[in-house]
Amino acid sequence: MQEKCWKDKMLFRYLILLILLPIKSFALIEVDITRGNLSPLPLAVSPLSIDEKSREGFKKILKKENIGSEISMVVENNLKQSGLFNPLNKDSFLQKPDIANLKPRFEDWNLIKAQALITGKVTLIDNKLRVEFRLWDILAGKEMMALAFTTVPSNWRRVGHIITDKVYERLTGEKGYFDTRIIYVAEEGPKTKRIKKLAIMDQDGFNNKFLTLGNELVLTPRFSPTNQMVTYLSYFRNLPRVYLLDIETGMQEVVGDFAGMTFAPRFSPDGKKIIMSFAKDGNSDIYTMDLENRVVERITNHPSIDTSPSYSPDGKYICFNSDRSGYQQIYTMNNNGKNVKRISFGKGLYGTPVWSPRGDLIAFTRLHKGKFYIGVMRTDGTGERLLTENFYQEAPSWSPNGRVLIFYRETKSNSEGEGFSAKLWSIDLTGYNERLVETKTDASDPSWSSLLSN
Amino acid sequence: MTRNIVISSGFHIVIIIITAMSLPFLSKKPINLPPIISVELIQISDLTNIPFAPKAKKIIEKVKEKEKKVVSEQAPPKIVKKQKPDVVPLPDEKIDKVKKIKDKKQNPKKVDNEIKQVSEFEKDELFDTNNIAALIDKSKIQEAKTTNKLDKVTQDQKKDVNFSGLSLSEEDALKAQIFGCWSIPLGLPYNKNLLVRIKLELKPDGTIIKSEILDHARMNKPGQGFYKVLAESALRAIQLCQPLRVPSSGYEKWKFLQLNFDAREMLEG
């Protein structure tokens, strides 16, 4: 009986083997794609469609012929400035905006080599501006995103910026930086008698406003990362002091009552503290002040000059510059002033360190052999890269997504003091997308706000 | 019981044999023979490949073998983390570069490691004529060693032989085509695991019948926004590139193809 069972088992095994034998497995060929191109993505920004009634309504309210086209221009300009996108010429578009908004003919857009398409519609509802927009993937032939906004008509430029942020985030994977503002020092007059005012504008240079009258000298304005507060240095009655200004209300106050000069202020990442330098008897150290309870805390205590402090985005570390090694170099430390480490070791002088909002890099100004460089390094000081070189440039400030830096650059004046100018420039981390930021007057000391729509 | 199994297996074998024998013939299409093109083959190696003198040939072979040995015994190159270069060089660096160029010009006599065609007159520099026998013996041993080494197929090579149905040049052509089509989203973090694997089903002309993301579940997971962006960019690249540059033969081998998109190297710089 046992023998029979064993035979059965064997037969069964042979049978299974026989069935499995003809099955031949084909291995899948794998190809690794590790490189691609970094050229700007070609995309089409179709003018937002608008019906006749809404067009007339907006014409009365905003004095704009076609608000749909205007908003799409804002989007197109933003995308172009980023250097990551290549908006195609509108003359090459084959489909009309009102039809494209409903269902784009992907073949037509493919023909002009667009890989993405932005369409939309503008309507006037109860004296409010309603904007719908859609982002299409031309090659896949599908909709990637569709959103609608309702706001007061005068906010139309902001709608354009918000659309750009959404498109940017969807296509690049990181948050945008278009619905933001820049605060800077507007400069006018001859170099020896400059009038400096605090000014604010959208990141694309529009909606420029002056916040101070120019009676006192103002320097180093810095945006709060959480709200619409600004801290800056002002010489009131020839005493330099750190001030706090609420942009919404216009309220202004002195930060702390220090028996000496306070300068180089900056907010903590939660916006609750101000970190700054305080100079007394020829020595300057770093202090913080809590904005709620006004408690002042000394962070560094060294006979050298410690200045330009900047918090890491998690608030645990501070980078600053100091001449404790004999030359001005960049250092990092814990937020309580302990564990001070020098991180810059290159030739020349390093200054104005600013921690990236992403936390991975520190931007700085470097002076070497009479030339100024704006560069970035990792937070441990490795991987230093110089992005741009010029006769005089400094004060980099990060965009809220940590991809772009804004700074100011001065030109040389001739022997008669003519030809001097100070302008704002932006550069991205690749170092190739360097652009002039248009301002009505000369400008210096820019500071980028966080995203307004957050 | 045994009888039944024997009968059943017998029937199964018959059915399998009939299927295996008949079906491929049924599906086989008549072969379209291409028109005959007469080609005249001319041996030109006699004209271009001038033989070395027998002694010089031996020497060159020996040197080549030595070189082979050295290459095989070399330690793998040290992995050095790439660092992005400065967009703007410092003045010192500029001077250094100029100096380097000058150095090159000033010292034209540099040791050249490349193997060069050696004339009979230069043989003295390479080996001692008194030791020919010893050298020949050594070369024999070396030859044996080399063949042994060649017989052993390394893991990497094995992978190429068994799994990659594409030759290196075919794979390179395909890669080069997709490199040109793939716009890498620059905002992606370089330190995260962002590998997008896409399985393609292709037509013989390289157009895509079906494309499928293998980790599709990751596309809509919260917190995987970066993966989605990368996967979509990879799909766009494939769409843009089609028809893909596939080999003209061996369709069955590459009918299904897997592309692994990995942007880390590019994003890290």
Domain end residue (candidates: A172, A193, A209) = A172
CB contact under 8 A, A11 and B5: yes
Does A396 lie in the same domain as A247? yes
Q: For chain A, positions 264-293, list CB contacts with chain B under 8 A.
A: none
Of A11, A37, A388, the CB nearest to B183: A37
* A424 and A374 within one domain: yes
**Cβ contacts of A29 on chain B, cutoff 8 Å:** 163-166, 253-254, 256-258
Least confident span in A10-24, A264-278, A291-305, A331-345: A10-24
Q: What is the pLDDT of residue B152?
A: 43
What are the chain A neighbours of B239 within 8 Å (beta carbons)? Answer: 139-140
pLDDT > 70? residue A55:
yes
The answer to whether the CB atoms of B84 and A383 lie below 8 A apart is yes
Same domain, A141 and A265: no
**Is residue A322 domain-shared with residue A402, that is, in the same domain?**
yes
| Total number of domains in chain A | 2
Q: How far is B75 from chain A (nearest CA, A)?
A: 25
Residue A8 lies in a domain: no
Query: Is it the case that residue A75 has pLDDT exceeding 90?
Result: yes
- How many CB atoms sit inside 10 A of residue B101's CB? 10
Is pLDDT above 90 for A39?
no
> Hey, CA dihedral for A294, A311, A367, A307, is it positive or negative?
positive
In a domain, A26, yes or no: no
Within-domain flag for A201: yes
Length of chain A: 454
Last residue of a domain, one of A129, A146, A172: A172
Query: In the predicted model, is pLDDT for residue A333 greater than 50?
Result: yes
Comparison of pLDDT for A329 and A237, the residue scoring more = A329
Q: Could you tell me the pLDDT band of residue A454, with boundaries at 50, 70 and 90? A: low
Residue range A434-450, pLDDT digits in tens: 999 999 899 999 999 99
Domain of A219 in residue numbering reads as: 181-448
Question: Is pTM, for the whole model, over 0.80?
Answer: no
Identify the top-confidence range among A124-128, A225-229, B115-119.
A124-128
- Measure A113 CA to nearest chain B CA, in Å: 9
Task: Determine whether the interchain pair B187/A430 forms a contact, defined as Cβ–Cβ distance below 8 Å.
Answer: no
**Does residue A18 lie in a domain region?**
no
Residues β-bridged to residue A252: A245
Rounded (10°) angle between helices A156-172 and A67-82? 40
Q: Residues A168, A200: one domain? A: no
pLDDT of residue A283: 86
Closest Cβ–Cβ partner in A33, A115, A431 for B260: A33
- A132 and A196 share one domain: no
Render pLDDT for A209-223 as a digit per residue (tens, 0 to 9): 998 888 888 889 999
Residue A3, in any domain of the structure: no
**Judgement on whether residues A325 and A291 belong to the same structural domain of the protein:** yes
pLDDT at A306: 93
Average pLDDT over residues A79-108: 88
Q: Please name the member of A7, A12, A37 whose beta carbon is closest to the beta carbon of B182.
A: A37
Give the burial string for A386-422 (b: 16+ CB within 10 Å, else e). bbbbbeebbbbbbbbbbbbbbbbbbeeeeeeeeeeeb
Domain identity same for A267 and A250: yes
Hey, is the C-beta of A10 within 8 angstroms of any chain B C-beta? no
DSSP letter (8 states) at residue B196 = E
Whether B258 sits inside 8 A of A32 (CB atoms) is no
In this structure, what CATH number is given to the domain that contains residue A141?
3.40.50.10070
Inter-chain contact B182–A373, Cβ cutoff 8 Å?
A: no
Q: Are residues A194 and A122 in the same domain?
A: no
Is residue A24, in this structure, part of any structural domain at all? Answer: no
Pair A269, A407 in one domain: yes
Residues A360 and A268 placed together within one structural domain of the fold: yes
**A138, A172, A206 — which closes off a domain?**
A172
* pLDDT, one tens digit for every residue, chain B (269 residues): 788 999 999 999 999 888 877 766 565 555 555 555 555 555 555 555 555 556 666 776 777 777 665 554 455 555 555 566 777 777 776 666 556 555 555 554 444 444 444 444 444 444 455 555 555 555 444 444 444 444 444 444 434 434 457 788 888 888 889 988 888 887 777 666 788 999 999 998 889 998 888 888 888 887 777 888 888 889 989 988 888 888 888 888 888 889 999 888 777 65
- Render pLDDT for A151-207 as a digit per residue (tens, 0 to 9): 999 989 999 999 999 999 988 888 899 999 999 999 988 877 889 999 999 999 999
Q: Which domains does chain B have, with CATH numbers?
A: 166-268 (3.30.1150.10)
Average pLDDT, chain A: 88
pLDDT of A88: 94
Tell me the chain A residues in contact with residue B82 when contact means C-beta distances shorter than 8 Å. Answer: none
What pLDDT is attached to residue A230? Answer: 92
Are A386 and B89 a contacting pair at CB < 8 A?
Answer: yes
Q: Distance between terminal CA atoms of chain A?
A: 81
The more confident residue out of A312 and B98 is: A312
Q: Domain with A253 in it: what CATH number?
A: 2.120.10.30
pLDDT digits (tens, 9 = 90+) for A237-252: 778 888 899 888 888 8
Instruction: Flag the least confident range among A157-171, A264-278, A352-366, B72-86.
Output: B72-86
Q: Is residue A23 part of a domain?
A: no
Q: Same domain for A338 and A378? A: yes
Q: Which of the residues B21, B88, B233 would you substitute to probe the A interface, choosing the one with the greatest number of A C-beta atoms within 10 Å?
A: B88
In a domain, A13, yes or no: no
Can you give the pLDDT at residue A147? Answer: 92
